Structure 1
């Protein structure tokens, strides 16, 4: 039985690594069944949907491939800790999105923080898009850039008005899409959390709360110790 297929892409002008792993799970059907059996609840924070608990051995099963990726793509050879991880399903209708949910975002502002998105919908569906803020040229927002970036973005929103009630999946007047990573069943993406990104949810996408039919993923956040 062959192992996962791992490729490393370079995102945009800043050239941040994006790891794409096809065949991330030894048994994706069983993982999907575990999600369907779970009780989902409101995600909280800024995630536009629902979350549920992962199986206890989720990261243990993937330990060797993650260790290789952390060293090869990101240069981390020490301990990497899991900060948060869950099954996730996008459910928020475009009309109910907050202004911030209509824009690219960062999950954290430190270079040692990493995000994982593991797609578990058999039909693939919407992937993840990465962006450059046009006026600053930023593709990443760290702690040093954040104050100026948000000041500039707030001023632009004041001048241009709020973005339309939709998920951002392509170019807009304020942001240029630098890459689209397509969703595939049992594909995982790993990238630094300070990359500007968004779920590339297409207009008219069915946003079912049922993990058997909705946009089911695992979302996880790690930190390199």
Structure 2
């Protein structure tokens, strides 16, 4: 297995950091094997699919890879706390999405929170897209911006109707896509959790609950002090 290849990108006008790491795990096939033997259950907090527990060694092993990334690239040099981490598979069909799943979202409002997505489906596929809210210009939603953002969204829904029942992958009347990163086997993305983003799920994507066939990832949320 090759050593991890790390690249830094800047998202949108706010130039928020996005780190892409290829060859993230030393043995991704072993992770897939672990997922195939795991018991998945309904996800919480609006994730459109199912989740399962990770092998015990995953977090400490991959945090060692991130140790050289969080400080110099994301300007977060403090202690790392794992808020949540699990295998995840998107399974919700587009016509079953609720309103929160049809638009870009953020995972937390604090600048100290970091999101990680680790793709474990062989071959290229549906990745992750990042967005700007057109009417406010917001690309990140912190605690100060949240009331403005959600109030504006409510007004837009009231006057323009709800967004269609589908995953958001590109530009819409309310949001402009600022960047998209393709999924690749054993690629990880690390970015501030308050960036507006969405899984870029194609309309014809196979949304299987079988980890051998579905969109298998690891999703993790970290808290990193300055």
Residue number in structure 2 paired with 1:64: 64
Query: Using the alignment, how far apart are the partners of 1:123 and 1:40 within structure 2?
Result: 23
Alignment of 1:50 onto 2:25? no
Distance apart, 1:77 and its partner CA: 1.7
What is the distance in 2 between the residues matched to 1:152 and 1:222? 29
The residue matched to 1:148 in structure 2 has which SS? helix
What TM-score, normalized by structure 2, do the two folds share? 0.98
Q: What is the Cα deviation at residue 64 of structure 1? A: 2.8
Shift of 1:63: 2.9
Once residues 123 and 214 of structure 1 are traced to their aligned partners in structure 2, the CA distance between those partners, rounded to angstroms, is: 12
Q: 1:73 is matched with which residue? A: 73
Determine helix, strand or coil for the equivalent of 2:184.
coil
Is this contact kept in 1: 2:132–2:196, CA < 8 A? yes
CA distance in 2 between counterparts of 1:88 and 1:63 reads 19
The unaligned stretches of length 5 or more in structure 1 are none
Gaps spanning 5+ residues in structure 2: where?
A: none
CA distance in structure 2 between the aligned counterparts of 1:24 and 1:129, rounded to whole angstroms: 20
Q: What is residue 155 of structure 2 aligned with on the other side? A: 155
Cα distance, 1:124 vs structure 2: 2.5
Aligned to 1:207: 207
Quote the Cα distance in structure 2 between the aligned partners of 1:163 and 1:131: 15
1:154 match: secondary structure:
helix
Give matches, 1:1-225, under 5 Å.
2-225=2-225
Q: What RMSD in Å do the two structures reach over aligned CA positions?
A: 0.8
Shift of 1:44: 1.8
For residues 73 and 157 of structure 2, the distance between their equivalents in structure 1, rounded to whole angstroms, comes to 35
Q: CA deviation at 1:19?
A: 0.3
What SS does the aligned partner of 1:131 have?
A: strand
Task: State the TM-score, normalized to the length of structure 1.
Answer: 0.98
Cα offsets for 1:153-188 (capped at 9, x unmatched):
110011110111100000000000000011000000
Q: Deviations over 1:111-166 (max 9, x none)?
A: 00000000000023100000000000000000000001100011001111011110
